[in-house]
Amino acid sequence: MALRFILLQCCIIATLHQLSTCLAEEQSVHSQTETIQPESRDSADTLHEAQTKQCTNSIHGVPGIPGIPGSPGPIGTPGLKGQNGEKGSPGSKGDKGDYGANGQMGQKGVQGKPGPKGVQGDPGQKGSTGQSGQTGPKGQQGPPGQQGQKGDKGQAGEIQHPNRAAFSASRTSILGPVSEDTTVIYNKVYANVGNGYSLSTGKFTCSISGVYFFMMSCMRHATPHNMYICLMKNNEKLPCVFVSNSGQRQYGAASNSVIIDLQEGDEVWVRLSSGRALYSDNDEYATLTGYLLYENSEKKARIYD
């Protein structure tokens, strides 16, 4: 907008300058006309009119400010697509040319004569035996052979028992006082080699005849009840442990051990007598341990009756 305004001012100044120039010339012609003789006045008037017309025609009007361009009109609707022209007919296929004639086979060359047989040379001397080569890498294993026929069944051998047996268990709770003789069940097992000790019955069953070592430990509760337990082999009483309260409610501990000979199927367990009580807790004061010292053969006599 500023540039248009400057251009407009320039045009106005140029026009005013041209107009002032024409007026000055007109006044000069008019003054000259008055001094001309009457007979020459007509030609002078004619010259004056021509100059005035030329000056008037040379003055142009001031150009106006260009207008704002109009917005483009809407896009016209595209015309309909013309119909496709007809497809031209295919041209005719040319004729296939003839095969050329085969060329003539060349003549076979003449076979040459065989050369003379060479003289046989003398046999060379036998060379010395070379050193043995290094052992080659091991070859890949071949496919497995067919399975052989099943052999005859052998004679039945003697049953061999494992030669190891050992266990160690403890009780983690109080038992009693009981109203009758009761088997002490040790509910926590540390080792049970050979699976001779049973958690359900509390008894050790011998599966290997031999000499065994057993040890039991126990504690009396701080109650008026005494503690009396015995190690049992089947229904036979072995060493026992007795702890009296001595009229005082105090805890008391004791232990005992034995080495015995067992035969396969014998049972060893601990019995708490009627009216007695056994104390234990998570510190495991009541324990039972047993293990095989050595195995007996059928020819050896029992060392314990």
Asked, as a colleague might, if the bond just before 38 is cis with ω within 30 of 0, I would say no
Burial track 11-29 (b if 16+ CB lie within 10 A, e otherwise): eeeeeeeeeeebeeeeeeb
Residues with Cβ within 8 Å of 169's Cβ and at least 6 positions away in sequence, in order, are: 186, 187, 188, 189, 190, 192, 197, 199, 287, 288, 289
In contact, 182 and 271? CB cutoff 8 Å: yes
Is residue 83 in a domain?
no
Give me the number of domains the chain comprises: 2
Is residue 49 in a domain?
no
Name the residue among 163, 162, 260 with its Cα closest to residue 214.
Answer: 260
**Going residue by residue through the chain (305 aa), what tens digit of pLDDT does each one get?**
666 667 677 667 776 777 666 666 656 655 554 544 444 455 555 555 655 555 454 445 555 566 666 676 677 787 788 787 788 677 677 777 777 777 788 788 788 788 788 787 777 777 777 787 787 788 788 788 788 788 777 676 555 545 789 999 999 999 989 999 999 999 999 999 999 999 999 999 999 999 999 999 998 876 667 789 999 999 999 999 988 766 666 677 889 999 999 999 999 999 999 989 899 999 999 999 999 999 986 544 444 44
pLDDT of 301 reads 41
CA 250, CA 225: separation in Å to the nearest integer?
A: 11
Range of the domain at 12: 1-31
Is residue 67 in a domain?
no
Secondary structure of the chain in HEC code, one letter for each residue: CHHHHHHHHHHHHHHHHHHHHHHHHHHHHHHHHHHCCHHHHHHHHHHHHHHHHHHHHHCCCCCCCCCCCCCCCCCCCCCCCCCCCCCCCCCCCCCCCCCCCCCCCCCCCCCCCCCCCCCCCCCCCCCCCCCCCCCCCCCCCCCCCCCCCCCCCCCCCCCCCCCCCEEEEEECCCECCCCCCEECCCCEEEEEECCCECCCCCCEECCCCEEEEEEEEEEECCCCCCEEEEEEECCEEEEEEEECCCCCCCCEEEEEEEEEEECCCCEEEEEECCCCCECCCCCCCEEEEEEEEEECCCCCCCCCC
> What are the Cα distances from residue 52, in Å, to 13, 37, 38?
21, 21, 21
Is residue 230 in a domain?
yes
In contact, 230 and 239? CB cutoff 8 Å: yes
In contact, 243 and 279? CB cutoff 8 Å: no
Is residue 122 in a domain?
no
Is residue 237 in a domain?
yes
To the question of pTM greater than 0.75 for the whole model, the response is no
Is residue 181 in a domain?
yes
Name the residue among 194, 193, 192, 189 with its Cα closest to residue 207.
Answer: 194
Is residue 155 in a domain?
no
